[in-house]
Amino acid sequence: MSVIIVGGGMAGATLALAISRLSHGALPVHLIEATAPESHAHPGFDGRAIALAAGTCQQLARIGVWQSLADYATAITTVHVSDRGHAGFVTLAAEDYQLAALGQVVELHNVGQRLFALLRKAPGVTLHCPDRVANVARTQSHVEVTLESGETLTGRVLVAADGTHSALATACGVDWQQEPYEQLAVIANVATSVAPRRPRF
């Protein structure tokens, strides 16, 4: 019986690749994604950049993914941590922990291209893209997912990897508990005329 993953962003795509690698393709995986990764409109693989911790990069290497992403990565060798309005701060350096880097920064659009290239070749993985879930029927022993294309999939495990406000999780009756932090974050891409210094903040 197969695993059905709804959502092919970072979480869904890497999970599908991990299952394929660790089961040597013996456990079938159906990955359903509504938007082709080539599109800049893909909500999970847009122009944003994210930082991946060294441990995350090691796990991605273990499942054969990091090797395809490394060319697009910028190493984080120093991190400066401070809190506005407070006197204390700390600086972390990779060399102090016998590491080549504390983490890596990658642009999501590039990551999406590479992940889906790997998915198309991954043993045991079937891509349903672009496609969406039309209906979900659950029983004690399995789950049945009907796609908008008309195809019906049957599996033992259904993974909701379709984003923060998961429509699938809501449809399956998952309740949300939210805790407001009263904080805002601004995300922007900045182009510089000179190479950026290594410390990250």
* Predicted confidence (pLDDT) per residue in 156-177, tens digit: 999 999 988 899 998 888 888 8
Q: Please tell me the pTM assigned to this model.
A: 0.88
Q: Identify the sign of the CA torsion 22, 116, 112, 110.
A: positive
Tell me the two tokens of residue 123: 């043993």
Domain that holds residue 36: 2-73+106-200
Q: Is residue 23 part of a domain?
A: yes
Give domain status of residue 54, yes or no: yes
pLDDT of residue 187: 82
> Which of the 8 DSSP states describes residue 102?
S
123 is a domain residue: yes
pLDDT digits (tens, 9 = 90+) for 95-133: 999 999 999 999 998 899 999 999 999 999 999 999 999
Distance CA(190)–CA(128), nearest Å, equals 35
Number of domains in the chain: 1
Tell me what pLDDT residue 106 has: 94
